[in-house]
Amino acid sequence: MKLDKFDREILRVLQQDATVSMADLSQRVGLSHTPCWRRVKRMEAEGIILGKVTLLNSKKLNLGVSVFIYVTLKNHDGDSLTDFESAVQEIDEIVECHTTSGEKDYLLKVIVESIEEYEFLLKTKLTHLPLVDHVSSTFALKQVKNTTELPIKRQ
């Protein structure tokens, strides 16, 4: 789907505030209400807009420990990868999972309350994921940037 300047501006505004009213959104992007609403609905139907969420402050929820984990699997056949990826979906503390190039197979991001909680998670769940051969953990010391906004070009 080709996005024009109005579509891109709608996406930029919605990324900053998904609770903006359609009236405010249409005014901010320079369209009348109905065409703006149609564009939003079209981008939802096309899967460009996946959903709307509420962002939470992890520190205020006592979830201040972020851990990045590289995982190497024993096997790389289709079933092994599928089994691992399915099992990852069941662990709430894993908030991101990416396949990676190079020596490691996956990069996980885990958010927990404490190092002790991470150790427990590691011993009871992470090392027991299907076909895990090696796990390497790195603790984030400070979050310098965190955004959910994609870099949509104005063109």
Q: For residue 10, which of 27, 1, 2 has the smallest C-alpha distance?
A: 27
Is the pTM of the predicted complex or chain greater than 0.85?
A: yes
What is the pLDDT, as a whole number, of residue 96?
A: 98
pLDDT digits (tens, 9 = 90+) for 67-118: 999 999 998 888 889 999 999 999 999 999 999 999 999 999 999 999 999 9
The answer to whether 54 and 104 have CB atoms below 8 angstroms apart is no
Domains in the chain, CATH or no CATH each: 5-46 (1.10.10.10), 58-140 (3.30.70.920)
pLDDT confidence band for 58 (50 / 70 / 90)? very high
